[in-house]
Amino acid sequence: MSATAALELRGISKAFGSVQALHGADFSLAPGEVHALLGENGAGKSTLMHIAYGMTGPDRGTIRVRGALVSIRSPRVARALGIGMVHQHFTSIGALTVGENVALAIGRRSDGQSVRRTEIALPARLMEGLPIGARVDTLSVAQRQRLEIVKALATGATSLLLDEPSAVLAPSEVEELLALVREFTATGGSAVLITHKLPEVFKVADRVTVLRAGRVTLHAPVAGQTPVSLAEAMIGEAPVGHTAEVLGTTAPRATPAVVDAAPARPAVRVGGIDVMAGELVGIAAVLGNGQRELLRSIAVGRGTAFVPEDRTIEGLIGGMTVTENMVLGLDTDPRWSRGARLDWNAARTRTAELIERFGIRAPGPDAPAATLSGGNQQKVVLARALEQGPQVLVAENPTRGLDIKATVEIHDRLRAAAAQGVAVLVYSIDLDEVLELSQRVLVVHAGTVREAPKGADRRVVGEMMLGVRER
């Protein structure tokens, strides 16, 4: 890349202990472009961007910003150089207001005073639905994601690093986000988009770089690429299994086969609608219509297991081991419970078996959960839920932030659970995922649950989500 690159990383290597995260990786970002950065979970994408943002330093390699050789020792230095980052996991302080969090982001001493809406020089629509005086811990997941973007742009960033920014957004919000990114780059800004949603790459990106196991396997214009070629660059082979929805290709609606399932019987009632044992039922809704409360009310029922949407906040405790996380909430399980104490040797043995059975990439049962990639963390959460032997499994955004391979594996686990007689309820903010997975679709709008017509397409279900169609 020429010396006029907005951001250029050359020969970047980084190891964490015995794990080599990056092997001489090159990356360049041109002024005015959207550059997609792809790869499996654990491929090194976030590590490369964390180096660019000063969150960690490279072992080897150089960084240039607008042609000048720089040493980015901290995020403060990065921001001073015009680099902003939207992290995959939220960084705002829940006890503070939206305005106070923005004040912290731009380096202002708030002294209890929030930044006012009129002081934020950003498109007004970016602030829509984001109350400046509301405490962050009262916001929805989508609102908190939007706040992360507002904070990054409020620092005056000219190069924006977006790590899975659309993972928790509704389809209409994704469209708005991508439009804003394009507007940002049209005025001279540059953006890196880390995503696992290949349709987003083809919709908005100019160039694409793919990492696999810390090495660059593809660096090319998006034009001329296909979903399959990108998937092969990411995982080294054409993916197999139920991949149509993650590759962005067209496929008929899935009808999971029920093998050796229990006789059909009502397992749970959702808004007056029975869900039968062995069914995989999708929940479709625009954020804020009551689906979160609905799912949690179901999840507290007896014989029900729950996979929450945020594995790092609700699903796992990062500083605890995989074994300790597996035992959470299951401390009376006879496989490791011995009256008033826990048999940790038995728990480790069982956890090692689950690591093997669920294909969890972890050094072992004593590895801290925080050291696992996002996909493997999600597998731990799902393994713990299924280990309970539930009659009903409620999964909320179960593939949020996961790569193609991990998404396929999670989908197959959900299908397998239904095939074994579990009533599986899946909510996803991604309507295409709901339609692909489900035998039936229940739509939640304004707190009311309605069943979509059999075989309803994206348009029909979308209109029901917006309340412009009854059925």
Nearest to 304 by CA among 274, 336, 269, 268: 268
Task: Please indicate, yes or no, if residue 364 is contained in any of the structural domains.
Answer: yes
Contact criterion met (CB below 8 Å) for 42 and 200: no
Q: Determine the straight-line distance between the first and last CA of the chain, rounded to whole angstroms.
A: 54
Considering the domain architecture, whether residues 459 and 377 belong to the same structural domain is answered as yes
DSSP 106: T
Considering the domain architecture, whether residues 233 and 372 belong to the same structural domain is answered as no
215 or 462, which is more confident = 215
Considering the domain architecture, whether residues 39 and 75 belong to the same structural domain is answered as yes
> Given a cut of 90, is residue 89 above it in pLDDT?
no
- pLDDT for 2 equals 47
Tens-digit pLDDT profile for residues 406-447: 788 889 999 999 999 999 999 987 788 899 899 999 999 888
Q: How many CB atoms lie within 10 A of CB 417?
A: 22
Burial of 10 (0-12, 13-18, 19+ CB in 10 A): middle
Considering the domain architecture, whether residues 279 and 225 belong to the same structural domain is answered as no
Helix (H) or strand (E) holding 337: strand 337-338
* Residue span of the structural domain in which 110 resides: 7-239
- pLDDT for 261 equals 43
What does the buried/exposed string (b/e) look like for 89-128 if buried means 16 or more CB atoms within 10 Å of the residue's CB?
ebbbeeebbbbbbbbbbeeeeeeeebbebeebeeeeebbe
Considering the domain architecture, whether residues 76 and 161 belong to the same structural domain is answered as yes
Domains contained in the chain, number:
2
Considering the domain architecture, whether residues 285 and 235 belong to the same structural domain is answered as no
Task: Please indicate, yes or no, if residue 430 is contained in any of the structural domains.
Answer: yes
Residue 114 token pair: 């929030």
Task: Please indicate, yes or no, if residue 251 is contained in any of the structural domains.
Answer: no
Considering the domain architecture, whether residues 455 and 398 belong to the same structural domain is answered as yes
- pLDDT for 452 equals 93
Task: Please indicate, yes or no, if residue 252 is contained in any of the structural domains.
Answer: no
- pLDDT for 53 equals 96
| Number of Cα atoms under 13 Å in the Cβ half of residue 295 | 29
Tens-digit pLDDT profile for residues 20-74: 899 999 999 999 999 999 987 778 998 999 999 999 999 999 999 999 999 999 9
Considering the domain architecture, whether residues 230 and 310 belong to the same structural domain is answered as no
Question: What is d(CA 26, CA 132) in angstroms, rounded to the nearest whole number?
Answer: 40
Nearest to 326 by CA among 316, 335, 334: 316
